[in-house]
Amino acid sequence: MTFKRSSMLAMIAGLVLSAIGCSNGKPTLSRVDVYVGGQDGYHTYRIPAIVVTVKGTLLAFCEGRKNSVHDYGNIDLLLKRSKNGGLAWSQQIVVHEQGGDAEITIGNPCPIVDRQGIVHLLFTRNNQRLFHTRSTDDGHTWSKPIEHTGILAGFAYPLVRVATGPGHGIQMRSGRLIAPVWVCDRPLPDVNKEPTYARYQAGVIYSDDRGVTWHAGTLVPPALDRLNENTVFQRADGSLSMNLRGRKHGVRVVSESADGGQTWTTPVPDPNLPCPTCQASILRLSPREVIFSNPASDTRANLTIRLSRDDARTWPHSRVLDPGPSGYSDLAVTRDGHILCLYECGERAYHQKIAVARFNRAWIMTNP
């Protein structure tokens, strides 16, 4: 009996090492275009989000912008699926649209995969109303969206605009679902160029009953100018770490929560993460490691992958994934340990297409 248990533990340990991608392997990198502007009925594709289901299916979400590159207009929420680790993708699925050709914006995808296999998806309508839908069949079909805009009153904020993510949310070890959100007290355009720290604020909404009901946590204190487009992961000690976009700070900003998103610490800039006022993605890779992606430049270019071995406190390993124009991105990890980065890119502009890069830990650590 002891021998069998030891053998089983050894086998499990081997599977875990395989699943997180052994750094001694040969560096690998491949890319596939997933959405290309001008194809399949849409002028532009933007705002990528990617998750891997419990069954191993890849789900790549984005906004399909019918007539222009602009953030507002006739915009639909789209999805493509991959059953082979991102090497090939399905035809695109319209997850949600409203009004036909009407100027209605459905966007800001924030998917979360829970441990029971349900894929939750939060999104917004015209950056004013909040919705949740779910899939129980690996993204083939989606439930009728349920509106949860009323919970945003819990932020006690003069809300005019709201956005989920964009990018994936998480399930905490406790089972709580966490979706990053940001709010704003003014419509576009923002004509006031003065620093207005509370104009944008970020926080999370959460669910403790597998997405049936949602609640507002609190917002990150407005100690820095216009914080939004946040991404979250859970530290080894159980706390949450939020990584935020700021306005003209030149770097990313970090805040932490020790109570599951109920309160947040005063945000501080992270000088190790340069950022040109752009969205980014953060994801736990293994029990000890965290990965991060963003355009590490003073413009939207130079999409860079970083790896931390101390819960995102330092970033000793980094590698440029795409030196050209590049913008928003989202990270996921396949069951065989490959890292996926779904990101905006192009030859002339960062919003020409959305591609997925597939690589391993060894590729990050082999920095030429």
Is the pLDDT reported for residue 3 higher than 80?
A: no
pLDDT for 210: 96
How far apart (Å, rounded) are the C-alpha atoms in residues 138 and 133? Answer: 13
Phi, psi at 27, each rounded to 5°: -60, 135
**Helix, strand or coil for residue 93?**
strand
Between residues 334 and 12, the one the model is more confident about: 334
Q: What is the mean pLDDT of residues 9-33?
A: 59
pLDDT for 5: 35
In CATH, the architecture of 2-365 is: 6 Propeller (2.120)
How far apart (Å, rounded) are the C-alpha atoms in residues 271 and 360? Answer: 26
Is the pLDDT reported for residue 364 higher than 80?
A: yes
How far apart (Å, rounded) are the C-alpha atoms in residues 208 and 186? Answer: 31
How far apart (Å, rounded) are the C-alpha atoms in residues 39 and 354? Answer: 12
* Helices and strands, number each (H, E), in the chain: 2, 24
Find tokens 């809300």 and name the residue: 159
How far apart (Å, rounded) are the C-alpha atoms in residues 250 and 264? Answer: 22
pLDDT for 193: 64
Is the pLDDT reported for residue 13 higher than 60?
A: no
Cβ-count burial of 43 within 10 angstroms (0-12 exposed, 13-18 middle, 19+ buried)?
middle
Nearest to 113 by CA among 50, 66, 182, 166: 50
**Helix, strand or coil for residue 362?**
helix
Q: Does residue 189 have a cis peptide bond before it, meaning omega lies within 30 degrees of 0?
A: yes
Residue ranges per structural domain of the chain:
2-365
Is the pLDDT reported for residue 4 higher than 60?
A: no
- Do residues 74 and 101 touch, judged by C-beta distance below 8 A? yes
The pLDDT tens digits of the residues spanning 177-193 come to 999 999 999 887 766 66
Q: Give Cα separations from 298 to 16, 134, 276, 325 (angstroms).
A: 38, 37, 5, 12
| b/e 239-254 (16+ beta carbons within 10 angstroms → b) | ebbbbbbbbebeebbb
Rounded to two decimals, the pTM is: 0.93
Cβ-count burial of 1 within 10 angstroms (0-12 exposed, 13-18 middle, 19+ buried)?
exposed
pLDDT for 7: 36
Is the pLDDT reported for residue 367 higher than 80?
A: no
